[in-house]
Amino acid sequence: MSEWTLLAVLFTPLVAAILLFRVPAGQARALGVAGSLVALFFAVVAFAEAAHPLALSASWLDAAGLNFSLSVDGVSGSLVGLNCLVTALALVAMPAAAPRARLQVGLLLVTETATSGALIARDLVLFFVFWELALLPIFILIAVFGEGRRGYAALKLIIYTSCGSLAMLLAIITLYVAGGASSFSFAHLAGVRPGGGALLGGLGVADLTFLGFALAFAIKTPLFPLHGWLADAYRAAPTPVVMVLAGVVSKLGPYGFYRVALGLMPATMQRWSPLLMTLGAIGIVYGALMALRQDDVKLAIAYISLSHMGFITLGIVGLTQAGVSGALVQMFNHGVLIAALFYVSGHVEAVKGTRSLARISGMARGAPGLAALFLVVALGTLGLPGLNGFVGEYMILLGTFTRSWLLLGLAAGGVVLAAWYSLRLYQGLMNGPPGEDSGQRVDLTTAGAWVLVPLVALVIVIGVYPAPLLNLLAAEAGRLLAVL
């Protein structure tokens, strides 16, 4: 039964994507939502068994040491569930009259399959295959259906991520060959230690291999200063696409740091931890300051996401029980919050015809439902106790406290700035006199309520009672950190 559950989680969205060509274009979105919700059901079943992880392993290419190996534990299970949920809500958020709806829905479903595959793969080559597959549909969706400089943004995204993917591929080959491995499975490679002396500037084989992985993960996250693709891609992407890209696909970066870098090369990651922590802390402050400078609502949210991903990276690479546990919780929380924020941005633009904060204000008068839900999301984003953003950030700060007072100060400054940019965004849109815009003031549609209400419910439930999720993820982190 476990094998069928894993296969259902992985391939249900892909089956739905194939069936799209058998239904009218007007039913494409409904079929896509149904496929994602079925996958979500199986993801919840797999997550419920996280204490005894479901696993599947089958021969793939024995001569090359490749296996079709899958497994779901607490960490991957929570993120797979997030992937299915955010994709389903992104499809609900898609306009009913979206052009070439079957193609758009199909590409989002392929992205869902690829992302889930990367999260549950336990063979390094299989992980790389799914990692690469997740990029192609996003590139097409931005290049074909995006706005503004969509071609430039899509090209920039693929250039950045392709450089990271090449570095990771070289790292995979080096780890396999230099370590004398006979299999690409995570379980086997966890015991491999690449030998050899210094090769480049005093760096050994293990260091260069680790840096290849780290470059790929840092670009995908993105981690300062490798975030050059973020602003253009997030600004050009349609609302459903940016919900998936920022809410789910970007989590493959910190997940790679956790599962691959820490899981396979713990000693080398320990050596590079101070540098990565520093970049994460700088990214927190830089993203926050950039968010405060933006007049474009969508661009402000993009830099808010960059700041939050800096927190997550800081927690994981800090290599403390509290920090890693908090980062794993915050990955889930960030996906919920950022998907909600980008949906609000898209709704505001659709209603007002602009994303300029200078031209929008006073929306709460005509949209009380939106204002109430957005307030919860904004308060969760700034880390208000009792909402989901608090517990992860608190534990990350707690872990950083044991490593560096200076980095703790930078991260704490980011918390203060988070209150500033979150309230600035909310007050700029919802409070004040009516803005100088020509759009009609309308509240959320039924579809909008279906998107925001589940996300806001998670913001509240996890904030009030985070123990079940936190305890499970903390136990997973403890097992991985035990090797240190």
Contact 50, 72 (CB under 8 A): yes
What is the pLDDT, as a whole number, of residue 45? 87
For residue 83, give the 3-state DSSP assignment: helix
* H-helix or E-strand spanning residue 283: helix 266-293
Output the six-digit token pair for 125: 């080559």
What is the separation, in whole angstroms, between the first and last Cα of the chain? 35
**438 — pLDDT class (breaks 50, 70, 90):** very low
What is the pLDDT, as a whole number, of residue 180? 65
Query: Among the listed ranges 188-202, 290-304, 326-340, 463-477, which one has the minimum average pLDDT value?
Result: 188-202
What is the pLDDT, as a whole number, of residue 439? 44
Q: List the one residue out of 320, 265, 274, 303 whose CA is nearest residue 421.
A: 303
- Amino acid identity, residue 357? L
> What would the pLDDT profile of 440-480 be if each residue is shown by its tens digit?
556 778 788 899 999 999 999 999 999 989 988 988 888 88
Domain ranges of the chain: 266-484
Q: List the one residue out of 130, 111, 135, 12 whose CA is nearest residue 69.
A: 130
What is the pLDDT, as a whole number, of residue 39? 93
Top pLDDT among 449 and 53 is at 449
Q: Give the mean model confidence (pLDDT) for residues 62-81.
A: 84
The answer on pLDDT for 350 being more than 90 is no
Neighbouring CB atoms inside 10 A of 182's CB total 10
What is the pLDDT, as a whole number, of residue 203? 75
Output the six-digit token pair for 257: 């740091």
Q: Give the mean model confidence (pLDDT) for residues 300-327.
A: 94
> What would the pLDDT profile of 7-34 be if each residue is shown by its tens digit?
899 999 999 999 988 888 778 889 999 9
The answer on pLDDT for 197 being more than 60 is no
Q: List the one residue out of 319, 421, 411 whose CA is nearest residue 379.
A: 421
What is the pLDDT, as a whole number, of residue 107? 95
Residues 296-314, buried b or exposed e (16+ Cβ, 10 A)?
A: bbbbbbbbbbbbbbbbbbb
Contact 378, 286 (CB under 8 A): no
Output the DSSP codes for 316-373.
Answer: HHTT-HHHHHHHHHHHHHHHHHHHHHHHHHHHHHHHHS--BGGG---GGGT-HHHHHH
List, as own/partner pairs, every contact residues 61-67 make where C-beta atoms lie below 8 angstroms and the sequence separation is at least 24, other chains included.
65/176, 65/181, 65/182, 65/183, 65/184, 66/123, 66/125, 66/126, 66/184, 67/123, 67/126, 67/183, 67/184, 67/185
Q: Give the mean model confidence (pLDDT) for residues 380-387.
A: 92
What is the pLDDT, as a whole number, of residue 441? 54
Cis (ω within 30 of 0) for the bond into 194? no
Top pLDDT among 197 and 78 is at 78
Q: Give the mean model confidence (pLDDT) for residues 163-182.
A: 85
The answer on pLDDT for 166 being more than 80 is yes
Beta-sheet pairing, 54-61 with 66-72 = antiparallel
Can you tell me the distance from the alpha carbon of 222 to that of 196, in angstroms, rounded to the nearest whole number? 31
